[in-house]
Structures are given as structure tokens and as C-alpha cells.
Structure 1
Amino acid sequence: MKEINYNSLSIREKVERQKEIIKVFLRLGFFAFGGPAAHIAMMEEEIINKRKWINHDKFMDLIGATNLIPGPNSTEIAIFIGHHRGGILGLFLAGISFIIPAMGITLLFAIAYVKYGSIPQVESLFYGMKSVIIAIILQALLRLGKSVIKNKLYLVFGLIITGLSLLGIREIPLLLMSGLVIMVILNRENIYNKFFSFSIMPLSLIFLTFLKIGAVLYGSGYVLLAFLEAEFIKKVGVLTNQQLIDAVAVGQFTPGPVFTTATFIGYLLGNTLGAVLATIGIFIPSFLLVIIINPIIPRLRKSIWVSSMLDGINIASLSLMAVVTFKLGIASLIDGLSIFIFAISLFAIMKYKISSFWLIIGGSIIGWISSLI
């Protein structure tokens, strides 16, 4: 089905699209627990399979592109999709709608933390949810794999990248290596012909610090801890190690982008305004970067060199997602009940196409009930 150009739509049709963008990404923002891999899996289900806004190839190109620019990957994918569906306004609506729920929930936890000195105990809710999330990610991996793994070479190289990641090799070197190797292999004849024939802190400082982090941090939100430690503990000493650990923990178990850890720290350092400025600071580079590189991505596919490199990057992206799934599985599938929830969730998704949103709610309820028994 040919995509209708957004600019050719009537005002009424544009408004309907913007409403749909807000609805979809608010929903994702409230229910996308589990970090970037889970966010991507839920976007794949909602955006590609349910609404068919883009195809799998385009989605994988977006994942590959966001892995090569700084900032929170899943948020940048949301921003990309918003731009594709609703132009510049859609870009901002998608990003803001995805961020706001997580920011609000994180802010509530920060307020409770300051008032009571600890994080509210909600672990039982997430016990069952974790198993569901593993099933959601695994199903997305299988579907995306059909688009990315185009031949035996791609499969073998994907397995190699997976193994290297499990051995501890960092994400960015693997992405670049995969892209370059696939580009060289697929263009070896061209290469041969070419080369051989020839508050506590000032509010302004809170904002600027998080702006810097958002502009230079590569990879997923899980790399955020090292940056925060360097800036707020080692450099200026305004946070304790325990406060940093608690802030990252809240960012991990709340829905939406892990980068809303910035909201928590911003509140600790500068109250509500500090929370808002920190959140804006860390996310605004993502909006700007997407605006800059979004028009470039389709052109890249027209070059046989860059297109093959994108294929390699996509293989590495899928492999890294597989490693995250494996590690999450080891951490989350810890007993018979969690394994049972995972198996039932995977069966429900694969066989009956049940929405991941309902499965997450169901997993949370089962986890809560099990804590009472």
C-alpha cells in the first residue's frame, strides 16, 4: 500500500493523524515497561503490525540510524515515526507523548522519595510483568528477523555479533564493525576495482548538564549510569551513590524512556522546575538530531555502499536486541511461575495476537496476587 504524503492531506485529515499519534504514543508511554528493547518490540507491534504506518525494512533502518546517534534510542524511534506520520508537528507530538507519562510517574516517585526517604515498594507488580515483556521482545525479534536476516551470510554474522556482545564487546564498536564488514563483503568487487586497478545546582547548570549528556550519550539508556556518575558525583559531588542508584532504578522500572531518570535527579537538585528542565535538556537533542537526519535516511538506501552498510548495522542492532532479551530472561525468569507467565504470554502473542498492553496488565496482576499468597 502506497504511503499518502502528509502534506497532501486536508486539514481535517492532518488533525486526525495528530490525534492518532498522541493516542498511540501516550499509550506506549504508559505501558512500555522494560527498557529500550521492550519499547521497540511494542512499537513494532503497534506501528507496523496493527496500524501499518511503516514496513519492517523502514523500521529496522530507523533502529540502525538511532543506534548511531546520541540520545535515547526508543524515544528517537518514536520521534522518527511521528515525523513520518505527521510531519514536524507529529515529530514533537510523538516524542512528547512518549516522554510525558514516564516523566510524570518518575516525578511522583521523586516527590515520594524526598518526602519519605525511600522508593515505594512496587516490586510485586513487576514480577509477572517482566515475564510478559520477555515474550513481547522475543516475538518482535522473530518478526524483525524475517526482515533483517536476508541470507545465510547475514544469519552467520548476526550470530557472531550476538556472541561478541555476550563476551562484553560494547554496542557502538559492534554496530560499526557489522556495518563496515557487510559493506565490504557485498561490495568487494567494487573495492577491488577501485583500490587495486587504482538547585543544589543552579537551574541553568542542571539544564546544560543534561543537555550535554543528551547530545553525546551513545547507545541505550543503560549507559546513562556512567555519565550521571561522572557529572553529578565525581565532578560536582551533588549526589550520593545511593541517590544515583535509586534514580536509575526508578527510570528502569517506570514505563517509557529510561532517560526519565533525569526527571528524578532534576527534582532532587532543583525541585519541580529542576525536574522539568532536566527532562527537556536530555531529550531536546534527540528531537533536533531526528529533524536533521530524517530526510537523509531514504537517500542513504539509494547508495549501494551505504545501503549495504545499513544492512550490516541492522544485523548488529537485531543481534544486540537478542542479547538484551537473553540477559533480561536470565534476570527475570527465576522460578516456575515466571517461566509459566513467559510461556503463556509468548503463546498468546504468537497464536492469538493478543495485545501486549493486556498481557502486561495481566502479568502485573498475577505478580501482585502471588505476593499476597
Structure 2
Amino acid sequence: MSPIDTKNDVIPLGEATRAWFAISLQTFGGPAGQIAVMQHKLVDEKRWIGQQRFLHALNYCTLLPGPEAQQLAIYTGWLLNGTRGGLIAGSLFVLPGVIALLALSAIYVRFGSTDLVSALFAGVAPAVIAIVVQAVHRIAKRALAHRALVALAVGAFLALTVFSVPFPLVVLAAGVIGWVLGRAIPGMTRGAGHGEATDGPAPLISDDALHHELPSKRRSLSIVAIGLLLWFTPIALFAAFVSSTDVFVDQGLFFSGTAVVTFGGAYAVLSYVAHQAVTVYGWLGPGEMVRGLALAETTPGPLIMVVQFVAFLGAYRSPGSFDPWVAAVLASLLVTWVTFVPCFLFVLLGAPYVERLRHNQNLTSALTGVTAAVVGVIANLAVFFALHTLFDRNREVGGGPISVDLPVLSSWDPVAFAITGIALLMMFGRSWGPMRTLGLCAALGIGVYLVGLV
């Protein structure tokens, strides 16, 4: 295949589209669970891409603002089918979540009650803990091929969990440390997503057969121009033709800004979004922000999709001359657009450069360090999620640079603990997949709710 060929598909486009659609229906559990689903489908089951290339793509996506799992889908879709594949993979990755959360937002506004969804969440949340734990185990097993990388992962976890070091600083430090370790320990990157094969299955398609393009200034300028045009045209249209309310422009600009600062996953930016949406713009109340997050947790796709719920409520309550329902749907779609279009821009712009540098040992070492840190980051998110799922109350302890969230043991939730134990048993003891485990735990949550124990 020519280096600049964008038409030939490594995998038939129809077959790849069906695979991405199947993946899109299983993207529960936050980034760790979503990455695990793609790992299972593309690397282990289909064997379309090797473990090394998968982790190399993940390394780059981790450095970008925005949901890294969706960006990983765009990148791997690009490797398999060029630009068309990246667009299809990234779009399908978020589509089920967009539809589901749009429907749940409408139900919330119409009926003002989410008891059934809360019951589902009571079962799904413990299942997500098990999914994340399994994902951390799998990724760590394949990415931490040297004791130095294990130490780096532990250091990243402690930096985030104990010292509250900002995520971008953790990633930057991990890259520098990885580069230093790569020079001091030449064999460190073997089996860590680069170099020699890991214990994963051998891919059916060679690395050289995957899609690649020669980076060029003309291509880069074209992608930037088209990306920015698509990104901001909807906001400009609302600014030009809608004068009865500012909610569309305010939301479009605000969430465009959050799209470029969302490093470290949704949790890193949601506190800022909540503060601005509640106290500055008044789009919703503080309790509603929490309920929106619960709804987003129960739907497939990135957790940052909660911004769709925020936009829906804000526009419904300030519709201007629009019907409230029309305004809510338009705002929801606008905010989804400005949140995810940048992901396509960042990946399609950078992928050829990253691929060209794939065999650069210095870059490989730096990205291997980043991958090790990501294991610690995901473990940190797993702890965060467990604290807020298994216990009703937590308290912050420490002094100076040390700050640790610890659970109030008397607030433990026996139902959550029981369902988490069942989910862990099914996934590790019976080798159940994420969807089957989620289905069982959702049924348990509803069952407990119906007998009045929740």
C-alpha cells in the first residue's frame, strides 16, 4: 500500500463498521473498561492489530485532552481503514451514549424521577468497579514488563492519590522518567507495548500493512482548517440567527473550552464544569449535577457525556423563543458536537507524525513511561470510584502536601459490597465479559430495589 493511499482498507470497511458497532454497545465502565473492550475485540479476538501498536496508539491518546478511549477508537479505526475508518469508529463509539442520555434527560425533565435509573445504577456501579479492576490487571500485565515501570506506575498512583499532583504534571514527569530509564536500561521497552512481542496473540495483519500516511504541511493545514470550520460553525450560526437567548452560544463556547483542557479524564474537569454550570450560569442545581453524573454512569460511552445532560436542562429552562423541548435537544446536540469534534481533529492531525516516530527509541521510551503512569492513573480512578460506590461518606485526612480520601467505615453499603463481590467472582472466577456482568448486576440492583432494600 502506498504511504499516502487513503482508499484501500486493511479490513473490509463493512466488517470493521460492524465490529465498531458491537464495541459501541459495550463501552460501559469509564476509560479503563472501554479500553479493555477494544483490547478484547481488536487485539485478542479479531487480531487485527498487535498489542504493541495498540499500546503505542494509547500512549499518544493519553497525552491529548478529551476522552482517551474515544480517541483510541479514532486512531485504531484510522490504522485499519484510513480517515473513513477513524470517522466511523469515533462516531459509533459515542452514538449509543448520545441517544441513551438524550432519552434519559428527557425522562428526567418530564417525570422528575429517576428511581428506576438509580436502581440500575445501584447494580451497575459495583459492576463497573470489577470491570476497572480487571482492566487494570490486564493492562498492567502487558504494559509493566520491567520492575522500573512497575515502580513508575506505583509512583504515579501515589502522586495522584496521596499528594494530589495535577494529572498533566504526572504525565510530563512520566515521559521524562521513561526517557531517562530508556537510556539507562536499553531493554526496558521490550514487551511493554514496543519492540518485541508480548504475551498477547500474534496479529493476523502485519504492522507494515496497517494504514499510514506521510505527514506534510499541506495535509496538516487542511485538517486544521476543516476541523476548526466544523467545530465552530454551529456556534456561529446560533450567534447569527438566535437572539432570544444566549444559552446556545454560552454553552457552545464554554464546552469548547472544556474540550481542550480535559486532561486526566472526566473526573478531572467535572468539578469545574459543575461549579460553572451551577453557580455561574445557573443551568441546573447542585443536586441535579450529581443525578446527571449518575445517569451518565449508566450509559455507554465516555463519562464526559454528562455535559449533554447539563446542556439539556439549561436550554430547557432558558429556551428563548424556541419550544423548550426543541431548545433542549438542540443544545444537547450542540454541546455533544463541540465536545467530540476536537477529538477527531487532534487524532487525525497527529497520527501520521506519531506513526513516523514509532521506531524512535527516545520517543518509545518516553511513551512507555507514560503508559506505565497510565496504569497508576487508572488505578487511582478505580479507588476513587470504589470509595464513592461502596461507602456513603468519605473524609479527607492529611496535612501539608499529603491529602488522602478515606472512607467512613460506618457508612459502608452492604448491597454495593455484595454486588461488587459477585461481579469480581463472575469476571475473574468465571471469565464473564463486561456486558454479561453488567446485565447480571443491573438485574440485582433492580431486584434489591423492588424488595425495598435500597
| Bin of the TM-score, shorter chain as denominator length | 0.7 to 0.9
Question: In terms of mean alpha carbon deviation, does 351-360 or 226-235 score higher?
Answer: 226-235
Structure-1 separation of matches of 2:254 and 2:180: 39
| Equivalent residue, structure 1, for 2:387 | 330
- The amino acid across from 2:431 in the alignment is K
The aligned runs of 1:167-206 (5 Å cut-off) are 167=162, 168-187=164-183, 200-206=245-251
Kindly state the Cα deviation for residue 316 of structure 1 after the two structures are TM-superposed. 0.4
Kindly state the Cα deviation for residue 305 of structure 1 after the two structures are TM-superposed. 1.3
The aligned runs of 1:32-71 (5 Å cut-off) are 32-71=27-66
Kindly state the Cα deviation for residue 320 of structure 1 after the two structures are TM-superposed. 0.8
Q: Give 2:254's match in structure 1, choosing from 209, 217, 224.
A: 209
Structure-1 separation of matches of 2:43 and 2:131: 14
| Equivalent residue, structure 1, for 2:342 | 285
| Equivalent residue, structure 1, for 2:265 | 220
Question: In terms of mean alpha carbon deviation, does 127-136 or 95-104 score higher?
Answer: 127-136
Structure-2 separation of matches of 1:323 and 1:238: 30
Larger radius of gyration: 2
- The amino acid across from 2:51 in the alignment is H
CA separation of 1:343 and 1:50: change in aligned 2, threshold 3 A: farther
Kindly state the Cα deviation for residue 57 of structure 1 after the two structures are TM-superposed. 2.8
| Equivalent residue, structure 2, for 1:193 | none
| Equivalent residue, structure 1, for 2:14 | 15
CA separation of 1:367 and 1:243: change in aligned 2, threshold 3 A: closer
Deviation per residue, 1:307-344 (Å, 9 max, x gap): 11001100100111112222323333455554444344
* SS at 2:300 equivalent: coil
Kindly state the Cα deviation for residue 111 of structure 1 after the two structures are TM-superposed. 1.6
CA separation of 1:127 and 1:265: change in aligned 2, threshold 3 A: closer
CA separation of 1:291 and 1:157: change in aligned 2, threshold 3 A: same
- The amino acid across from 1:274 in the alignment is A
Kindly state the Cα deviation for residue 138 of structure 1 after the two structures are TM-superposed. 1.8
Structure-1 separation of matches of 2:123 and 2:341: 34
- The amino acid across from 2:348 in the alignment is I
CA separation of 1:80 and 1:370: change in aligned 2, threshold 3 A: same
Deviation per residue, 1:65-100 (Å, 9 max, x gap): 222111122221222222222221221222221212
CA separation of 1:183 and 1:9: change in aligned 2, threshold 3 A: closer
Kindly state the Cα deviation for residue 183 of structure 1 after the two structures are TM-superposed. 0.9
Question: In terms of mean alpha carbon deviation, does 141-150 or 276-285 score higher?
Answer: 141-150
Does the Cα contact within 8 Å between 2:73 and 2:90 map onto a contact in 1?
A: yes
- The amino acid across from 1:175 in the alignment is V
| Equivalent residue, structure 1, for 2:420 | 342
CA separation of 1:57 and 1:146: change in aligned 2, threshold 3 A: farther
- Note if 1:96 corresponds to 2:91: yes
Structure-1 separation of matches of 2:293 and 2:354: 32
Q: Please, what is the CA RMSD of the aligned residues? A: 2.8
Deviation per residue, 1:141-192 (Å, 9 max, x gap): 22211221121111122222222221122222111111111212332599xx
- Note if 1:354 corresponds to 2:432: yes
Does the Cα contact within 8 Å between 2:277 and 2:310 map onto a contact in 1?
A: no
Structure-1 separation of matches of 2:171 and 2:47: 27
Does the Cα contact within 8 Å between 2:312 and 2:331 map onto a contact in 1?
A: yes
The aligned runs of 1:260-299 (5 Å cut-off) are 260-268=305-313, 269=315, 270-299=327-356
Kindly state the Cα deviation for residue 133 of structure 1 after the two structures are TM-superposed. 2.1
CA separation of 1:280 and 1:170: change in aligned 2, threshold 3 A: same
* SS at 2:29 equivalent: coil
Structure-2 separation of matches of 1:55 and 1:344: 32
Kindly state the Cα deviation for residue 9 of structure 1 after the two structures are TM-superposed. 4.3
* SS at 1:169 equivalent: coil
Deviation per residue, 1:9-56 (Å, 9 max, x gap): 49x9333323332x223322xxx3332222223332333222223233
* SS at 2:12 equivalent: helix
- The amino acid across from 1:353 in the alignment is S
Deviation per residue, 1:213-237 (Å, 9 max, x gap): 2133222011232342464445544
* SS at 1:133 equivalent: helix
Structure-1-length-normalised TM-score:
0.85
Question: In terms of mean alpha carbon deviation, does 126-135 or 360-369 score higher?
Answer: 126-135
| Equivalent residue, structure 2, for 1:143 | 138
Structure-1 separation of matches of 2:9 and 2:416: 47
Structure-2 separation of matches of 1:136 and 1:248: 19
Kindly state the Cα deviation for residue 101 of structure 1 after the two structures are TM-superposed. 1.4
Structure-2 separation of matches of 1:342 and 1:246: 21
Deviation per residue, 1:187-212 (Å, 9 max, x gap): 2599xxxxxxxx75343443233222
Structure-1 separation of matches of 2:83 and 2:273: 31
Structure-2 separation of matches of 1:238 and 1:126: 24
Percentage of pairs with the same residue:
24
Q: Which runs of no fewer than 5 residues in structure 1 stay unpaired? A: 191-198
Q: Aligned residues, how many?
A: 356
Question: In terms of mean alpha carbon deviation, does 163-172 or 40-49 score higher?
Answer: 40-49
Q: Give 2:109's match in structure 1, choosing from 107, 114, 119.
A: 114
Kindly state the Cα deviation for residue 140 of structure 1 after the two structures are TM-superposed. 2.1
CA separation of 1:331 and 1:246: change in aligned 2, threshold 3 A: closer
* Larger fraction in helix: 1
CA separation of 1:173 and 1:129: change in aligned 2, threshold 3 A: same
